Amino acid sequence: MSASNRCPRSWPRRPSCTPRARPAWGSARSEVTAPAQPKFAADAMLARLARWLRVLGWDTTLQPGLDDTTLVRQANEEGRILLTRDRGLLRDLRPDRFVEVHHDGPLEQLRQVVRELNPEPPHELFTRCTVCNTELSPPLSDAERAARLPPDVRELPGPARACPGCGRLYWRGSHAKRMRTALAHCLTDWLPREVL
Ligand SMILES: [Zn+2]
């Protein structure tokens, strides 16, 4: 990891929650603020970032077929923070709330979004489907685990959940463990250890 990629030692203090006449989210850090549970609209180039945001529990739409005008209009109407690397889009369509993403790697992108918005950390990871953005079910019961999980993962510790949207199942396997480790490195001092 290069020096420029190192995680910061500390995160900026959460901005004051004093209401503003008009939210002024954007890339100028002094102007950035965010609700405790931000909602995002990721442009088509940021699919992997969208998945990481969903791992943190944040409602993040990703609609690759959408034209830029519709993307910005929907984001504005739904109160979403638009995430894009497209300066032309920002200049021409001027979304209400946005973060101009500067990095290539999805984890660096995630760190930038968290640093600029400084939202409340989640209390739990993997509560939203990383594929379809639907909130996951409450943890499966023992009977549901026995009926739905592959035999070799039924006894793993930690909750298992299902996605009501697409049917995918989530459990604390090796893949989830690697993702938690990556988040621990990326979001040091922001993500509480008990969440990991
Ligand atoms: Zn799903």
Q: Which two tokens stand for residue 30?
A: 């002094």
In the chain, the number of structural domains is 2
Greater confidence (167 vs 18) lies with 167
Range(s) of the domain holding residue 155: 124-189
CATH of the domain at 103: 3.40.50
Centre of ligand 1 to C-alpha 182, Å, is 22
Centre of ligand 1 to C-alpha 37, Å, is 20
Distance of CA 94 to the CA centre of its chain: 22
Centre of ligand 1 to C-alpha 179, Å, is 18
pLDDT above 70 (res 16): no
Taking a 5 Å cut-off on Cβ, the residues next to ion ligand 1 are 129, 131-132, 134, 163, 165-166
Interval 39-66: pLDDT, tens: 999 999 999 999 999 999 999 999 999 9
Confidence of residue 30 (pLDDT cuts 50, 70, 90): very low
Interval 100-114: pLDDT, tens: 999 999 999 999 999
Q: Are residues 102 and 164 both part of a single domain?
A: no
In a domain, 40, yes or no: yes
